[in-house]
Amino acid sequence: MTLQTENPSTPNDAGLTEINRQMLLILDFGSQYSELIARRIRETEVYSEVLSYRTTAEQLKQLNPKGIILSGGPSSVYDERAPHCDPAIWELGVPILGVCYGMQLMVQQLGGQVERAERGEYGKASLHIDDPTDLLTNVADGTTMWMSHGDSVTQMPEGFEVLAHTDNTPSAAIADHQRKLYGVQFHPEVVHSEGGQALIRNFVYHICKCQPTWTTEAFVEEAIREVRAKVGDKRVLLALSGGVDSSTLAFLLHQAIGDQLTCMFIDQGFMRKEEPERLVELFYQQFHIPVQYINARDRFLKIVEGVTDPEEKRKRIGHEFIRVFEEESKRLGPFDYLAQGTLYPDVIESADTNIDPKTGERVAVKIKSHHNVGGLPKDLQFKLVEPLRKLFKDEVRKVGRSVGLPEEIVRRHPFPGPGLAIRILGEVTEEKLDILRDADYIVREEIRNRGLYHDFWQAFAVLLPVRSVGVMGDQRTYAYPIVLRLVSSEDGMTADWSRAPYDLLEAISNRIVNEVAGVNRVVYDITSKPPGTIEWE
């Protein structure tokens, strides 16, 4: 995650006033877990947002949060260039929880001492509870928490007391009960911290006195009202990919504005077998949401002809997508608004927006399409409609179910924007696309038939640009190998290769070699991420 240092987002800019009133804010000091803290809070059905550590106390006061959390971070508080928050936040009178670096910063700014520890503490540690009330209510003594620190508190500020310790850390959890200031040296937000969510619930409900108002139903109702109020009677264009984000957005917008929505699906020829046809059929025939189908397969195949470099492939596909999108939007238009499936992690990590000086509204200069590359020409001045921009991926899936999105899309495996073009290593040809489509179809069909589809984060085939010798029917063959890539993951940021059943791998291999012309060998990728990536290009 990228540390925000300027222009912190304004939590109420989505206009969700009713469900934002019960709100917790996270100040980000560069932790890889800041987004995870926000997600854990939202699991308690309380709204949360991540802001820059540079957000001033006055700005925070205007937002009126029920509580504030200071994230961890890679720095040491005593470093010359360490990030510090506005010291005035300690006088806001709202509960504050410091996590790891956030706890150390709290201690330092309030007059305590933080020093390099004689022994760092990393990984799992048993938490010995000294005060089982308040923050640590229902957290079992001896529970495992996840540590990741080389510094420790050596002197606590006045008014603080120890709530818990570990064998290596005397002050693993601390509190100033009167001022409702709390600190934990461990990371309660990570899955390895067994009592972490109980601690978070204690902070959210018992200390901050929040009410569970952040629900899927409340979000959908408020989002529909917001879209109608913003769009009025104007037309909205949505680039549909068939993924969960754009599909959820299409269903939500169709409920809000009906025929004012135009969905455009650009078929670049790199989709999986039967997917374009299934998408159009599903949206139009089953749910009566018209989709403008654009067949651009020949154009895209031509622009990647002879290209072997993966970044060049992505770049060319992205640029061609923009050209096709521009042409078709002018043909189908005019449109006042462009709908994008921007999610909250995109908002945190990206600043690819401009503000129209006349209206004060965000104007698209980069399309957040299923290609995730390229930018719209600046003379295409759409205003943006982004009702999902406050949601994490798991929340989008919940909204999708709420608005009637079929489960086959809600739980669809992630699929890269450039599609099969980056699962064919080297040059992309029509022959290779046909081979890979057939092989990939067998992979998905076999795991579905065995009820294992949702056991994997992703399961797909890769075509290598080499050939190997084989024997089929007493004849020598010289054909392509297929790589099977089956991975398990929570969010795609890290992944492990899946320990798939041998009989499943055997069935997939036998079918591919026997049914897909041009393939005589199947291999299994057992590389985790890191050091590898999920995709091969």
CB 423, CB 376: distance < 8 Å = no
Q: Is 226 tagged catalytic? A: no
Helix ranges restricted to H, 25-176: 34-42, 57-63, 101-109
Top-confidence residue, 325 or 121: 325
pLDDT tens digits for range 280-334: 888 888 888 889 999 999 999 999 999 999 999 999 998 898 889 889 988 998 9
319 catalytic residue (yes or no): no
Please tell me the least confidently modeled range out of 15-24, 226-235, 437-446. 15-24
> Is residue 476 scored above 90 in pLDDT?
no
Residues 49, 189, 395, 446: which is the catalytic one? Answer: 189
Up-side HSE of residue 15: CA atoms within 13 Å toward CB? 15
Q: d(Cα 151, Cα 74) in Å, to the nearest integer?
A: 11
Q: How far apart are CA 349 and CA 342, in angstroms?
A: 11
Query: In the structure encoding, which two tokens stand for residue 243, read together?
Result: 């993924």
pLDDT at residue 366 in the model: 38
Q: What residues contact residue 73 under an 8 Å CB cut-off, 6+ apart?
A: 29, 30, 31, 83, 100, 101, 102
Q: Is the pLDDT of residue 209 over 90?
A: yes
Under the banding of pLDDT at 50, 70 and 90, the label for residue 111 is: very high
Q: Which two tokens stand for residue 526?
A: 């057992």
pLDDT tens digits, residue range 150-175?
788 889 999 999 999 998 889 999 99
**pLDDT for residue 114:** 84
Q: Buried (b) or exposed (e) across 234-271, using 16+ Cβ within 10 A? A: ebbbbbbbbbbbbbbbbbbbbebbeebbbbbbbbbbbb
What does residue 148 show for φ and ψ, rounded to 5 degrees?
Answer: -160, 75
pLDDT at position 217 is: 92
Token reading at 114: 């933080």
The residue annotated as part of the active site, out of 100, 208, 210, 263, is 100
Length of the chain: 537
Q: Are 243 and 275 in contact (CB under 8 A)?
A: no
Percent helix, strand, coil in the chain, to 5, is 35, 25, 40
Residue 367 to residue 385: CA distance in whole angstroms: 12
Structure tokens, 349 = 């990590």
pLDDT, position 282: 87
> Quick check: 88 pLDDT over 60?
yes
Pairwise CA distance, residues 324 & 300, whole Å: 10
Packing angle of the helix pair 244-257, 216-231 (nearest 10 deg): 60
| pLDDT the model gives residue 359 | 44
| pLDDT of 349 | 62
Look at phi and psi of residue 306 and say left if phi exceeds 0, alpha if psi is from -120 to 50, else beta.
left
Cα–Cα distances in Å, from 380 out to 336, 365, 397? 10, 8, 31
% pLDDT > 90, the chain: 59
**Annotated catalytic residue: which of 187, 254, 370, 371?**
187
pLDDT average, residue stretch 495-521: 94
Q: At what angle do helices 393-402 and 244-257 cross, to 10 degrees?
A: 40
In this predicted structure, the answer to whether residue 339 has a pLDDT above a threshold of 50 is: yes
Q: Tell me the C-alpha distance between 537 and 465, whole Å.
A: 13
Give the rounded percent of residues in the chain with a pLDDT score beyond 70: 89
pLDDT for 272 equals 93
User: DSSP secondary structure string, 363-399?
Assistant: E-SS---TT------TT--PEEE-TTTT--HHHHHHH
**Which pLDDT does position 388 carry in this prediction?**
92
Q: Is 100 a catalytic residue?
A: yes
Read off the tokens for 398: 């919940």
Comparing 45-49, 158-162, 179-183, 285-289, the range with the smallest average pLDDT is 285-289
Sign of CA pseudo-dihedral 33, 39, 40, 41? positive
Contacts by residues 429-435 (CB-CB < 8 Å, ≥ 24 positions apart): 429/301, 430/301, 431/518, 432/463, 432/480, 433/269, 433/270, 433/301, 435/463, 435/480, 435/516, 435/517, 435/518, 435/519
Q: Residue 343: is its pLDDT beyond 90? A: no
- Is there a contact between 173 and 141 (Cβ–Cβ < 8 Å)? no
**pLDDT mean across residues, the chain:** 86
Nearby residues of 475 by Cβ (< 8 Å), 6 or more positions away: none
Per-residue confidence (pLDDT) for residue 474, from 0 to 100:
60
Per-residue model confidence as pLDDT tens digits over 357-407: 344 444 443 333 333 323 445 555 678 899 998 888 889 999 999 999 998
The C-alpha angle with vertex 197 and arms to 194 and 200, in degrees rounded to 5, equals: 135
**What confidence score (pLDDT) does residue 27 get?**
94
